[in-house]
Chain A
């Protein structure tokens, strides 16, 4: 067994897949360079990212897969789970080997896996679309901090761009340390450099926020409290839909 490392990008992964086919290899594991812990007798090679090669693999897949299936494969990549590459390679091999369309071929374990993994990632996408809370800053940017389980910012950019077309907004992934920023024209990926006393959470006294921000947070709190019906109390259902790990980012759930 040989391990091939790629730079962590999706193009890097597809480049490695290209080389698999080019060199007709079946004894290779593809892994992210940054996650990899080298075994004692492991044979490790770095495969460079070649965009042209990545494009060729993607074009080949596009001929055999629907847009939905392609997105599912991309979702597996965004899951960032260690070793997920093995499932993606298994899936790609099955796609190229099959004569007929693999959509719905759930008897194949890779097809089933990819659809299940994608479902998890897309669930997190929907949750982010729901649970992003913007806070208006003094310089007129609607700012939100999140920490999604999977790397879904690339998937939600479109939704927020379509919906909030007339306001500046920034959604920052605290865990992965990058954000997407909309400047009224397009969405760009940015990294923020915080100074020493940086505190990401909301404090009404901080001078970062627009003067009316406090009022609307207070009104939202009021609303949230009033619409609850105590006679129908069901905290388990609430938790099931809104697991605790999201709470610290939700205006209405903060003290």
Chain B
């Protein structure tokens, strides 16, 4: 009986938590020095499984409870929604985490919660789970807690001592969207804990320079999530907001969650609308270009181009608008310029720069270093003769690349058909 109850709770509270897309368990550096259970190695966390939607399962991602006093329109747990409610005890979450972890199912815990009673009451429970895992169970795996806006600074501070990452979800990319769909929430109230945590990170980093024993404080930093496609915002608004948060609060990641229809509220896209998966994917690509490739948001999106092209990726789209920057000489150009070429990633750019010190490179070598020649050839010169001597317009290149990928798609399908 108890067994079935816990299974039912898990079903309800995992289902309610799944719309939060951040799954990463990366960026921490917690070692298992205590010879206890687990570690959170630096760099990428491990994806232990993949669900049929192709998403990575890395953390046990659950709500402590889906009881909530708020009524955000886009959320399944909103108080006006008629769903089954459940709540875990602190000990139940601890047992689940430890036993899943020991079986190598997960990298750790991502614990979020509906707001029951008030923010402090909720946050206090979340902190208790983390504290128990760390201090009573000698658990060194990854812990990501939701920081509840409105909870006291003391609780935030304590959460930071046990968690690897804390996140406040901004939920909607614009203040107007928030006003429309979650009128009980405000942007400044969300920013307050983000700012507090950032200041703590800076303060402790400074102390670490002079004092020996300063406790670790959210080593994997802060992240946030915004829902895409619920309130009619443009990609430009989203990307500018993200880059502002990266800069101002040193967020580690902004996650984009394509809105999954869960309500027939007329303020929202209807129940039969598609999840904007492609748009979400393009936003992640643009986000990468801003974070890792040194692109400025306005290079990718501006008043003239407020939305990302869904047919082609944002880097190609940028390159086609800036053909005057090309062709780039692979054997001479700076690494970051090479990384701007469509079909060449950061990894390949690094390899190219290492390899060319041993001799000038041609197409064969570029191919072996993982360069997608079919794209890069329009934008590159190298030791070998040019593959694209004709002067092509952006539109012609775009068409050629689209037909290529289209025909590749066709080829896959025809071979499949001929099997029958």
Q: Which residues of A contact B (CB under 8 A)?
A: 103-108, 112, 116, 126, 129-136, 142, 144, 162-167, 212, 215-216, 218-220, 222-238, 240-242, 250-252
Which residue of chain A is the closest to B46 with respect to CB atoms?
A: A130
Which residue of chain B is the closest to A221 with respect to CB atoms?
A: B7
- 30 A-B contacts, Cβ less than 8 Å apart? A103-B354, A104-B354, A104-B355, A107-B355, A133-B104, A163-B37, A165-B37, A167-B37, A167-B102, A212-B99, A218-B7, A219-B100, A220-B103, A222-B10, A223-B60, A223-B100, A225-B11, A226-B15, A227-B57, A229-B51, A229-B53, A229-B275, A230-B53, A231-B261, A232-B54, A232-B277, A234-B54, A237-B54, A240-B54, A252-B105
With A167-B102, A219-B96 given, is the CB distance from A234 to B52 under 8 Å?
Answer: yes
Which residue of chain A is the closest to B362 with respect to CB atoms?
A: A107
Q: Is B231 an interface residue (CB 8 A)?
A: no
Please state if B105 and A133 are interface contacts (CB–CB under 8 Å).
Answer: yes
Bound-state Cα–Cα, A229 to B47, Å: 17
* Contacts A133-B103, A226-B15, A227-B15 known; 19 new A-B pairs at CB < 8 A: A106-B358, A126-B46, A133-B105, A142-B102, A144-B104, A162-B31, A164-B37, A215-B3, A219-B7, A220-B100, A222-B11, A224-B51, A228-B18, A230-B53, A231-B261, A232-B275, A233-B53, A236-B54, A251-B103
Q: Is B415 an interface residue (CB 8 A)?
A: no
Residues of A within 8 A of B261 (CB): 231
Please state if A241 and B56 are interface contacts (CB–CB under 8 Å).
Answer: yes
Please state if B50 and A237 are interface contacts (CB–CB under 8 Å).
Answer: yes
Residues of A within 8 A of B17 (CB): 227
Please state if B35 and A104 are interface contacts (CB–CB under 8 Å).
Answer: no
Min distance, Cβ A64 to any Cβ of chain B, angstroms: 15
Which residue of chain A is the closest to B38 with respect to CB atoms?
A: A163
Residues of A within 8 A of B96 (CB): 219
Q: Is B195 an interface residue (CB 8 A)?
A: no
By size class, the interface of chain B is 35 or more
Bound-state Cα–Cα, A238 to B369, Å: 26
Bound-state Cα–Cα, A138 to B46, Å: 28
Bound-state Cα–Cα, A2 to B316, Å: 53
- Across the interface, A134 reaches (CB within 8 A) one of B46, B102, B275, namely B102
Min distance, Cβ A145 to any Cβ of chain B, angstroms: 13
Bound-state Cα–Cα, A219 to B101, Å: 13
Tell me how many residue pairs across A and B have CB atoms closer than 8 Å. 156
Q: Is B61 an interface residue (CB 8 A)?
A: yes
Bound-state Cα–Cα, A132 to B48, Å: 9
- Across the interface, A227 reaches (CB within 8 A) one of B32, B61, B368, namely B61
Q: Is B157 an interface residue (CB 8 A)?
A: no
Residues of B within 8 A of A135 (CB): 103
Please state if B50 and A251 are interface contacts (CB–CB under 8 Å).
Answer: no
Bound-state Cα–Cα, A225 to B52, Å: 9
Q: Is the interface of A mostly helix, strand, loop or mixed?
A: helix
Which residue of chain B is the closest to A159 with respect to CB atoms?
A: B41
Contact code string B366-404 (vs A, CB < 8 Å = 1, else 0): 001100000000000000000000000000000000000
Which residue of chain B is the closest to A240 with respect to CB atoms?
A: B54
Please state if A166 and B36 are interface contacts (CB–CB under 8 Å).
Answer: yes
With A162-B32, A167-B37, A220-B100 given, is the CB distance from A104 to B52 under 8 Å?
Answer: no
Min distance, Cβ A102 to any Cβ of chain B, angstroms: 9
Residues of B within 8 A of A108 (CB): 358
Which residue of chain B is the closest to A131 with respect to CB atoms?
A: B48
Min distance, Cβ A69 to any Cβ of chain B, angstroms: 13
Contact code string B47-77 (vs A, CB < 8 Å = 1, else 0): 1111111111100110000000000000000
Please state if B14 and A232 are interface contacts (CB–CB under 8 Å).
Answer: no
Which residue of chain B is the closest to A236 with respect to CB atoms?
A: B54
Which residue of chain A is the closest to B16 with respect to CB atoms?
A: A226
With A164-B37, A167-B37, A224-B57 given, is the CB distance from A129 to B50 under 8 Å?
Answer: no
Please state if B354 and A228 are interface contacts (CB–CB under 8 Å).
Answer: no
Min distance, Cβ B201 to any Cβ of chain A, angstroms: 26
Please state if A163 and B7 are interface contacts (CB–CB under 8 Å).
Answer: no
Min distance, Cβ A55 to any Cβ of chain B, angstroms: 30
